[in-house]
A and B are shown apart, each in its own frame.
Chain A
Amino acid sequence: MKYADEFRDKEIALGLARTIRAETDPARPYRFMEFCGGHTHAISRYGLEDMLPKNVRMIHGPGCPVCVLPAGRIDMAIRLAERAEIILCVYGDLMRVPGSQGASLLKAKARGADVRMVYSTIDAIRIAEENPEREIVFFAIGFETTTPPTAVMIRLAEKKQLSNFSVFCNHVLTPPAMQNILESPDIRNIGRVEIDGFVGPAHVSTIIGTAPYEFFAEEFGKPVVISGFEPLDMMQAILMLVRQVNEGRHEVENQYSRAVTRDGNLRAKEEVSDIFELRDQFEWRGLGQVPYSGLKLKRTYATYDAEVRFGMNELRVDDNPACECGAILRGVKKPVDCKLFGTVCTPETPMGSCMVSSEGACAAHWTYGRFRDHQQRRAS
């Protein structure tokens, strides 16, 4: 695959690992959080941690949209799907996410609810056109990458004058969550994570650009390097972070310049700001209520807002108390610290959301990391 294979070259990766080793100061720790689930996945898949010196540690962040969706929002979607007139369209990853008491959309579907997996928001529009007598609700989730496709879909629904179509909006924003990790007072309950720098999101940044991180790097004195998802991209980004730490800099740097600019995708940003506005706050699994971190449809688009259209009530439910997703999403704990990991909780029977999506820290560790643990144990 062009623009992917070249960035996976093993020799260059080993060379970068040597350069990182040569430049790190063995006397100090380098703790970098990769915000994005795509990076978490890549680190596990390519075994990047094995190539890094021991004092360079990667901390997995909360950047997996499926993982941060609170169980209450899943329950709300299940209630919608149980109504006979509704067809609920969802991205496939959402089917297994646990709501309260082991409920999931997959189980609701098995009981007869009309839940349909779609690959793209365009599919949801087609389903609405084909079923004029039913109500079609699109379960919208995701960060800044998936929001523009939802916006385009609403614009299309308006253009096609679809009167049987609405959106259950759960879109969230990256920068407020990064900020929350660094400053939330309640984080002290599980122990604050020490972070020396951030690997910034790749595809989120194609949309929002690098500018929104500038305030953040300045205010918190932490370096941010926007990085692509391929292994060489990540190794370079880690080297760039090491250099910033060594030189006492805290700037926003862009490793992923082939796809990311300072201003991002203006057209996509316009689509989003035409249709959405900020919520005062939104609940994140693991982070709690985060101010100005979620989006809702503007009042002028209220007919497309499922929460308004169906008078949906906010549901709050507590997560399974044994599940450590909350601490894992904040980088305070690792998947293996959870008693349920790999025993009760596996991708087949996920107890928490971090085990559902392939970008979740628990699922990534289950798929790739546990063999490494095993090998290391045998070696020692």
Chain B
Amino acid sequence: MCLAIPAEVTKLLPDEMAIVSIDGVSKEISVALIENLVVGDYVIIHVGYALTKIDPEEARRTLELLRELSVEGQGVAP
């Protein structure tokens, strides 16, 4: 039940609710725990709540680092 997934905010609703899209599937969730949310933000959702925003810049940096780290061990037998 801890599984949580990234989703894109597509519409803000009254009462701290919002519509998110998960691979094209729409779902209504609570955004009561998130400040300054705008349409287009990605959030991590868990039991019907957004827990946190995803920082796109940090995500990009992590991917870059992953690529670098993955070639550092080259030449070693798998």
Contacts and interface: CB of A to CB of B under 8 A. Distances in A.
Contacts, number: 158
Contact of B1 (A21, A22, A142, A255): A142
Interface residues of A, number: 63
Contacts of B44: 203, 206, 259
Nearest to A38: B2
Nearest to A240: B69
Given A15-B69, A18-B73, A148 B54 contact: no
Contacts of A14: 70, 78
Interface stretch (A81-89, A115-123, A184-192, A316-324): A115-123
Contacts of A76: none
Interface residues of B, number: 43
Contacts of A105: none
In this complex, the member of A12, A38, A120 whose beta carbon has the largest number of chain B beta carbons within 10 angstroms is A120
A37 B4 CA distance: 12
A4 B6 contact: yes
A268 B70 contact: no
If over half of A's interface residues share one DSSP class (helix, strand or loop), that class is named, otherwise mixed; here it is helix
Interface string B50-72: 01111110110111011101111
B49 A257 contact: no
13 contacts: A3-B59, A12-B67, A145-B47, A145-B51, A146-B1, A149-B46, A206-B52, A232-B66, A233-B62, A236-B62, A257-B55, A259-B52, A265-B52
Interface of B: 1-6, 8, 22-23, 29-30, 32-35, 42, 44, 46-49, 51-56, 58-59, 61-63, 65-67, 69-74, 76, 78
